Amino acid sequence: SLHDALPIFVGDVFASAGRHVTKVKIKELRERYDIDLCIANCENAASGRGITEKIAADLFNNGIDVLTGGNHLWDRKESFSYLKMERRIVKPANYPKKAIGFNYFISTTSKGKVAIINLCGQAFMNVANSPFIVLEELIEEIDDKVDYIFVDFHAEATSEKQSLGRYLDGWISAMFGT
């Protein structure tokens, strides 16, 4: 059971205030609660839009293991080359295949292998492929490689998050909405 070593998810690290909170709290929380895996959404970490290599490095150095994105992940053109190589930053997998970044990351924890997937909603957002179809394909691709699957569903509409959560019940370990 993953319950023995707690994972933590931090939604939308926003600008300098969000980065400050992660710097002050994440390491403390990891120690206090024996947190084995820390995932954070970083799409607004750089002044509220996008991520930079320096900011990502700071987040990783402050105890975050994996970063997920969203529709603003690519707002900093100076970060494109970094997003092409940093596997621990996960782009929305339902964006076009040519979108820079990786569709998932597999983290090895004391309780097993955890796949972290990021998806974007379609309601009130930029055009994206169906998160339902894309996630089915990804699950088929990675299911036999991992023990747990975590999904960050970055969407505007609560109803869309609830629909995907109900649809995925029994297929994944946890879904977080940012």
Judge whether 3 counts as a catalytic residue.
no
Give dist(CA 22, CA 11) in Å, integer.
11
φ and ψ of 9, to 5 deg: -125, 130
β-pairing, 104-109 vs 112-120, is: antiparallel
Residues 6 or more apart from 18 whose CB is under 8 A from it? 12, 44, 45
Give dist(CA 64, CA 38) in Å, integer.
5
- 3, 20, 72, 154: the active-site residue: 72
Buried b (16+ CB within 10 A) or exposed e, 118-153: bbbbbeebeebbebeebbeebbeebeeebebbbbbb
Distances 154 to 34, 36, 68, 86, 118 between C-alpha atoms, Å: 27, 23, 9, 20, 7
The residues assigned a catalytic role are 72
